[in-house]
Structure 1
């Protein structure tokens, strides 16, 4: 049981205590803005979306036929395990650990270890456990969305209406939007029962697949103790640093620069170029926390940090990472091997 000094984390159906919220100075408190989707890119490279699940939302005695679409398109590089000698891909065999021999597909089944005894499960066993209503998203409760801690969210999906079901879909969207509530739902998806949350965004239903409460690990052994008083100067300096980085959330400002640099390495290696990792920059560690905070604030001032956006600065005032991003946008080749001075010169030539 937690003491009064260590309150438990916000539960899925309870509000976060007011005392635990981060208090910004009035002049830097972020303004609330209505969530919007990222702007559609010209030539929409995604094409026509393909439904990955179809069924209906049960809303009392009303059923809204819907389709589920993936909302996420991760851009991980497709790296493969290959044979160094000839570049051919590495394959894997299903090997029996007792016999040490490959096993054909028709001799492989799913099994559960029950106290040392393996219980084999067939398709009929899984069907029996599913029960009825496997194509229905059942609404269990309507709750304020802010009461659901983000730790419960796993993945987001778009929910669209089936052809001819637009009216009942719009009715549910409008009712939820006016009530300013989200729906906690239960449905069967990809061979398991799923907890999820339906919410409205820009006139569209989103389904947030969620973890169950017993899937969230306890945190007591991770959270530090709260004994001892914080230094007022250090806290004020930390708040000043936060103020320098405070602004409105714009997802378009953030990019996976590592992926771009890795692709550049791939292109250069394909042309036969030698690749060398840049030497890590060594910075002298501050002597104490207050000094570190003060130097961080001064650095943010030099970089022109205000309201979460960096003001225009000369090339010499930018970091190596920022110069690399700017060089990438200008198509400067070999930038990953350049020093800061070389990057500045290359960018200046490219911008002439």
Structure 2
């Protein structure tokens, strides 16, 4: 596995050379669309409202501000405000884990020490674990700035990219769909509490499996022997010079006629 980022993990005056690796691998199955008559792949074209195909070099970025009005954004505009590439993940704050709303978490990664950084890495790992804290940092990955939470897990430092506060939809936005002032009886509450108490256990993620993924892979395996070969489009041949081809054809015909005459007179 190759790292997707290399740089420094910084807290105070301590800098730890680290590499960033993905900590998750989503299991999804995607299907291609094929034409039913010959099972050839379906291709998509970019077309304008007039139905004409649009070349890549004719496409610009536009942000819609009203039904028929767009602000045109050039690549140079984006480049001017893109954050500069950074090789430092600087921890600005340490907070308690239970203070972070899980809705903020996005993608997860591992921070792995580079050669010679083991001691500094182990120091931060153990100290954070004993304090039960999460480091909050900002860093740039692939020209985008991220908020991140860094915390110990299974003997390694993990980094979770986070959603910013204004990206979280508050429950109040759905208040019209939520139950209002509903009166609950003591009997109902006691029954619910008993049911919940009977189901409380330790979280064991390995016991929860993606049943749909397993079913789809089993279905694909069962049909593997009857897989259909798709019909591929013929590759474009060598460009032919029409005049040269005509001249060659005429010359061949003349040569054949000349050969016939020789046979007759021979």
Query: TM-score category by the smaller chain?
Result: 0.7 to 0.9
TM-score for the superposition, normalised by structure 1 = 0.57
Instruction: Tell me the secondary structure at the aligned position of residue 160 of structure 1.
Output: strand
- Displacement of 1:148 in angstroms is 0.2
Give the C-alpha shift of residue 264 in structure 1. Answer: 2.9
Structure 2 matches for 1:235-254, cutoff 5 A?
235-254=189-208
Residue 119 (1) aligns with residue 72 (2): yes
Determine the structure 2 residue equivalent to 1:101. 52
Unaligned runs of 5+ in 2: 227-266
CA distance, structure 1, for counterparts of residue 161 and residue 30 of structure 2 = 26
Q: Secondary structure at the match of 1:266?
A: helix
TM-score, with length taken from structure 2 = 0.74
- Seen in structure 2, the aligned counterparts of structure 1 residues 186 and 221 have a Cα distance that, compared at 3 Å, is closer
Q: Which has the larger radius of gyration?
A: 2
Confirm or deny that 1:195 pairs with 2:141.
no
CA distance in 2, matches of 1:267, 1:178: 48
Distance 1:175 1:264 in 2: 46
> 1:7-44, CA deviations, whole angstroms, 9 ceiling, x for partnerless residues?
xxxxxxxxxxxxxxxxxxxxxxxxxxxxxxxxxxxxxx
Alignment of 1:198-347 (within 5 A): 198-223=150-175, 224-270=178-224
Q: CA deviation at 1:133?
A: 5.7
Q: CA separation in 1, counterparts of 2:111 and 2:190?
A: 45
* CA RMSD between the two structures: 2.4
- The aligned runs of 1:92-171 (5 Å cut-off) are 92-95=44-47, 97-113=48-64, 116-122=69-75, 124-132=76-84, 134-171=86-123
Displacement of 1:226: 4.8
Match of 1:209, SS? strand
1:228 is displaced (CA, Å) by: 3.7
Q: Is the 8 A contact 2:146 2:161 kept in 1?
A: yes
Structure 1 runs (4+) greater than 6 angstroms displaced: none
CA shift, 1:57, in A, is 1.7
Q: Which has the higher contact order (CA 8 A, sep 6+)?
A: 2
Does the 8 Å contact 2:83/2:143 carry over to 1? no
What's the counterpart of residue 41 of structure 2?
89
Deviation at 1:112, TM superposition (A): 4.2
C-alpha spacing 1:128/1:156, structure 2 compared with 1 (3 Å): same
Secondary structure of the structure 1 residue equivalent to 2:174: coil
The structural deviation recorded for 1:113 is: 4.9
Partner Cα distance (1:108, 1:60) in 2: 46
Q: 1:181, CA displacement in angstroms?
A: 1.1
Distance 1:121 1:107 in 2: 12
CA 1:246 to 1:131, structure 2 compared with 1: closer, same or farther past 3 Å? Answer: closer
Contact 2:9-2:88 at 8 Å conserved across structures: yes
Q: CA deviation at 1:99?
A: 4.7
Q: Which structure shows the higher strand fraction?
A: 2
1:111 deviation in Å?
4.2
* 1:128–1:241 CA distance, 2 compared to 1 (3 A): same
Q: Could you list the runs of 5+ residues in structure 1 that have no partner in the other structure?
A: 1-48, 273-352
Q: C-alpha distance in 2, partners of 1:66/1:258?
A: 37
- The residue aligned with 1:299 is none
Please give the alpha-carbon distance, in whole angstroms, between the structure 2 residues aligned to 1:131 and 1:235.
52
How far apart, in 2, do the equivalents of 1:230 and 1:179 lie? 41
Displacement after TM superposition at 1:189 (Å): 1.8
Could you say if the C-alpha distance between residues 218 and 131 of structure 1 is closer, same or farther in structure 2, counting changes exceeding 3 Å?
closer
Are residues 64 and 125 of structure 1, via their aligned partners in 2, closer, same or farther at CA, if it must alter by over 3 Å?
A: farther
Asked if the contact 2:83–2:140 (Cα under 8 Å) also holds between the matched residues in 1, the reply is no
